Amino acid sequence: MKPALQFRLHQQLTLTPQLQQAIKLLQLSQLELEAELRQIAEGNPLLEFEEEGEELETLDDDALKADYPSVESTTAGSSGDGDESDSTDWADRGGVSESPMDFSHQGSSGSSSAPSRGDDDFEPQNAAPETLQQHLVWQLNLASFDPRQHLIATVLIDALNSAGYLTEGLEAILAALPAELMASIDDVEAVRRQLQGFDPIGVGSLDLRDCLRVQLEQFDPDTEQRELALRIVDAELELLARNDIVRIARRLRASEDDVAAAAVLIRSLDPRPGAALDTTPVEYVAPDVYAIRDGNRWRVSLNADCQPRLGLNQHYCGLIAQARGEDASWMRGQLQEARWLIKSLESRAETLLKVADAIVRRQSAFLDYGPEAMHPLVLREVAEEVGMHESTISRVTTRKYMHTPRGTFELKYFFSSGVSTEDGGSASATAIQAMLRKLVDTEDSRKPLSDQAIAEELRRKGIQVARRTVAKYREGLRIPSSSERQRAS
């Protein structure tokens, strides 16, 4: 054994910090991207956002008018020429622009014409919505409860879910009360009964039957079919859910007309009394890309409002040349990170546009004719078309949305597996589900189609699908079985 020098050649894939950052930005949704960029900008003084209605001072007009190009897609009947506009790749621009990024559709100006907003501008503020608990506590403070009952009622109110139900049970409520209160189950039940009379009627119920009974008891005793409705709620609520009027009438020895009238009365009640005061915020989706019909073409463009306007702070960039020592080294490092970030954002926008364009070209029939014309599409096909890996396509289609004349869809909606057809082709699962929905909507309500009958109807259209597959799609669409649809008719 003696020391020796040897040469070995090998290839190794290394994820640089810049590449890791680009991959991370690619998979973020619009809101997550904005939050991530603002967090990065807080630690890097050379990065600066252009807020709505203001412009960065040292930027020239040409930089502000830099638009990100749109991409046009041809329909299946048009020629393939001109599928993509003469956009330039960000890598060929000879460096990263130090102006704010402005990704907009073709023909729009990057500069902002909105007047600047002063600090004295009045911003209308909506009052915070009242929660169910706050609404009940307000009534509790007006009720004639003694301190002991008031404490029990407070614990009950805190235990209500968003629908107004007590899901934990009275034993859990009793265990939450102070031991020195020496309360019993009967004490808790008595307060709960009084709580059920608060607005909205039925809060504090233990189950659906309890909730409906309390609401029925609030009706005038002379209300038509009130007593029969109470009997149905107590004994035949399951049959009512299946709309089995005949069996209910037979069991309760009442006429079908009276049972039907009582069912109408029950259905007028609120099964979720607390939902009207649910303060859960509604989430709105802003599309990342638009698909717009332009003659015989589908034009794809990025949503300019959803793209971050991020640029370099010219004041701090000018200070780099004057800095010395560690300060100069630190600022140069921050400048390099800022340039890499802007470059990653440009790459993200370009990738999103390419993938959306490829999807629109593959699914132009869906845009023209609807879900029944959806073609089977998998990630590999788009990956091969745009020259990227399937994992990249998966990241860029997650939580990214496209606005079309038929609605706003997540990009993943356009991908679905295929089912063989008689002519050797394939039909997408989305198209089959749309056909299934259409068959159910147009069926005879007195003789609903069974899963086997639906499978046979699809076979007549050339789609080979098994009965169990029809049942799977039907359950996914939340369509009841044929027997349940017949009872509900």
Model confidence pLDDT, tens digit, residues 254-264: 998 999 999 99
Tell me what pLDDT residue 232 has: 92
User: Distance between CA atoms of 147 and 88, rounded to whole angstroms?
Assistant: 75
User: By C-alpha distance, which of 337, 315, 333 is closest to 37?
Assistant: 337
Tell me what pLDDT residue 93 has: 36
Determine the straight-line distance between the first and last CA of the chain, rounded to whole angstroms.
91
User: Distance between CA atoms of 459 and 157, rounded to whole angstroms?
Assistant: 56
Contact 34, 354 (CB under 8 A): no
What CATH number should be reported for the domain holding residue 466?
1.10.10.60
Inside any domain, residue 465: yes
Inside any domain, residue 171: yes
Containing structural domain, residue 249: 132-277
Q: What are phi and psi of 254, to 5 degrees?
A: -130, 165
User: Distance between CA atoms of 73 and 304, rounded to whole angstroms?
Assistant: 19
Tell me what pLDDT residue 183 has: 86
Tell me what pLDDT residue 489 has: 55
Indicate the pTM of the whole model: 0.56
What is the full DSSP assignment across 216-272?
HHTS-TTSTTHHHHHHHHHH-HHHHHTT-HHHHHHHHT--HHHHHHHHHHHHTS-S-
pLDDT 10s digits, 412-450: 999 887 666 655 566 778 888 888 888 888 888 778 888
Inside any domain, residue 422: yes
Inside any domain, residue 458: yes
Question: Could you count the other beta carbons within 10 Å of the beta carbon of residue 244?
Answer: 18
Q: Which of 277, 309, 338 is the last residue of a domain?
A: 277
Q: Which of 227, 262, 277 is the last residue of a domain?
A: 277
pLDDT mean values, one per 10 residues, the chain (489 residues) = 81 75 85 88 84 44 39 44 39 39 39 41 56 89 88 90 86 86 89 91 90 91 90 88 87 90 91 79 81 89 84 83 82 88 90 93 89 86 91 90 91 80 68 87 84 87 84 86 70
Q: How many domains does the chain have?
A: 2
What 3-state DSSP class applies to 52? coil
Q: Which of 226, 253, 277 is the last residue of a domain?
A: 277
Residues in contact with 117: Cβ distance below 8 Å, sequence separation at least 6, in sequence order: 53
Question: Could you count the other beta carbons within 10 Å of the beta carbon of residue 454?
Answer: 24
Query: Which tokens belong to 194?
Result: 């009084």
Inside any domain, residue 332: no
Q: Diameter of the chain by CA atoms?
A: 108
Q: What is the DSSP letter of 146?
A: -
Helices marked H in 363-450: 364-369, 379-386, 390-396, 429-441
Q: 124 to each of 121, 127, 302, how far by Cα in Å?
A: 10, 10, 31
Inside any domain, residue 177: yes
Inside any domain, residue 178: yes
Inside any domain, residue 434: yes
User: Distance between CA atoms of 163 and 277, rounded to whole angstroms?
Assistant: 9
Q: What is the dihedral of CA 244, 246, 247, 251, to 10 degrees?
A: 130
User: Distance between CA atoms of 390 and 383, rounded to whole angstroms?
Assistant: 5
User: By C-alpha distance, which of 53, 17, 45 is closest to 332?
Assistant: 45
